[in-house]
Structure 1
Amino acid sequence: MQGFLSLAGKRALVTSGTKGAGAATVELFRELGAQVLTTARSRPEAMPEDLFVAADLTTPEGCATVANAVRDRLGGVDIMVHMLGGSSAPGGGFAALSEAEWRTELDLNLFPAVRLDRALLPAMIAQGSGVVAHVTSIQSRLPLPEATTAYAAAKAALSTYSKALSKEVAPRGVRVVRVSPGWIETEASVRLAERLALEAGTDAEGGRKIIMDSLGGIPLGRAAKPAEVANLLAFLVSDRAGAITGSEHLIDGGTVPTA
């Protein structure tokens, strides 16, 4: 990997970089030579303090804290990966989604990227270079009405915002790309598969099949691994992908039937 890709000398911010695909991305970027700052609500014991900032990115204050840390510790940024996302909305379709549930989904999946871009992109434009990667979701194309309506809508908004941003800043030397994962086999998704298996009276493989069936099937037959998402991001933010901007890159094992 290092022979083909290098991020040496690059300053990077990766949000939500303590678990799953975020942690894999932080680890790979550092292996490739980047100086990486990451953030979450709390710091894991194994994470060095100088490489981490604790903040709640669902608030304007938390985003300001991270933006200030980027300026103070890195002196600016060359790469931003907006990994933060998720959903805590209840099942039950549209009727189960209160005003508060909608606000929570937007505050987690859309506004952190918008706020951090607004704070840090001007310096990228001033230096005439940089890459912004927004991690969206195939749910923006394949929403599950029982449980992911608000999450899917927020990710669709992030995707549209990203496309518009790419058109604006590309002439000034800044690339904006989207990575759209399907099911990623994180610790949380493994626990979900185990819970579904227990409820259905089947084994772990049966639990995985329940998830895949809910997505309409995964032709590859498995979830993506966090390291595979990190590999895609590393390529897209590297100089190897210098002509790629404005595009969305699915990593879903073929789940989305059309691209």
Structure 2
Amino acid sequence: MSMNLELQGRRVLVTAGTKGVGKAVVGLFHELGAKVLTTAREQPADTLADFFVTADLMTIEGCNTVTKAVLTNFGGVDIIVHVVGGSMAPGGGFAALGEDEWQHELSLNLLPAVRLDRALLPGMLAQGAGVVIHVTSIQRELPLPESTTAYAAAKAALSTYSKSLSKEVAPKGIRVVRVAPGWIETEASAALAQRLALQAGTDYEGGKQIIMKSLGGIPIGRPSKPIEVANLIAFLASPCAATITGAEYVIDGGTIPTA
């Protein structure tokens, strides 16, 4: 970004910061002069974060480990970016989703944000300032019944929780914002496109077209790139967005067909 977002020295926690959007967010905040702590289940060979914590955020213990690391290394936090999420649910519609699948989706897409916010918001409230960004998904509005019902429901719960939290803490100086991506061309989605292309006897671009068609089309003609989502997150976390709270910003290339 060429504009000054005034993020120098800000203490930032980014969850799931080793791949895809999370990695792009870590890199951008680092470039903008922030102090960044990130976390994942496995430590990468390299990271631009100032601090890395190995933790499984699907567990209470993992969230406690990250909270302790934030308080130990930073003494508090100014910005939290909840990127962690995803889906491992099988295809097959509602009947394929048992207790384990539902619990997994909620434990990955909702509860880490709830637990970390609960632990770290008191410090933000004490300092009278802070920004929390929850990465949701357009699938809360456009679920794919065959494969993403539980994921979409968990992201919808995250979005509702985020809206309620924003109304509670905005009068106390804390902004809470949601970012809802559509299809993002991450390493994982690129691998999916390649597998679909192989199955269909086409090339990578053909595989991308298969995914876009399954989403009902992307008017802009391509998925978002991780850095494009990171750019939006950095702006919303910055003083440039000082009066933005409680809102959800869709970045999907026009996938959602209504305003």
Per the shorter chain, which TM-score range?
over 0.9
When normalised by structure 2's length, the TM-score is 0.98
Rounded to whole Å, the distance in 2 between the matches of 1:232 and 1:159 is 17
Could you say which residue in structure 2 is the equivalent of 1:77? 77
Question: How much does 1:42 deviate?
Answer: 1.1
User: SS in structure 2 opposite 1:258?
Assistant: coil
Structure 1, residues 96-130: CA drift from partner, whole Å, max 9, x if none?
00100000000000000000000000110110000
CA distance in structure 1 between the aligned counterparts of 2:201 and 2:49, rounded to whole angstroms = 44
1:34 matched to 2:53: no
Quickly say closer, same or farther: Cα 1:9–1:50, change in 2 above 3 A. Answer: closer
CA contact (8 A) 1:2 1:32 kept: no
Match in the other structure for 2:100: 100
Query: Can you list the C-alpha shifts for 1:20-70, whole angstroms capped at 9, x where unaligned?
Result: 110000000011110000000011121378510000000000000000100
Structure 2 gap segments, 5+ residues each: none
Corresponding residue for 2:182? 182
Q: Which amino acid aligns with 2:103?
A: R
Paired-residue identity, %: 71
The alignment partner of 1:72 has SS state of helix
Runs of 4 or more off by more than 4 Å in structure 1?
none
| SS of the residue 2:207 aligns to | helix
Match of 1:226 in 2: 226
TM-score between both structures, scaled by the size of structure 1? 0.98
One-letter amino acid of the counterpart of residue 163, structure 1: K
Moved more, 244-253 or 42-51: 42-51
Q: Could you tell me how far 1:205 is from its partner in structure 2?
A: 1.2
Offset, 1:6: 2.4
2:168 matched residue in structure 1: 168
Which structure 1 segments of 5+ residues have no match? none
Q: Hey, what's the Cα distance between the residues in 2 that align with 1:121 and 1:226?
A: 27
The count of residues paired between Structure 1 and Structure 2 equals: 259
RMSD, aligned α-carbons:
1.0
1:79-228 → structure 2 map (5 Å cutoff): 79-228=79-228
Q: Distance in 2 between matches of 1:210 and 1:106?
A: 28
CA distance in 2, matches of 1:88, 1:220: 28
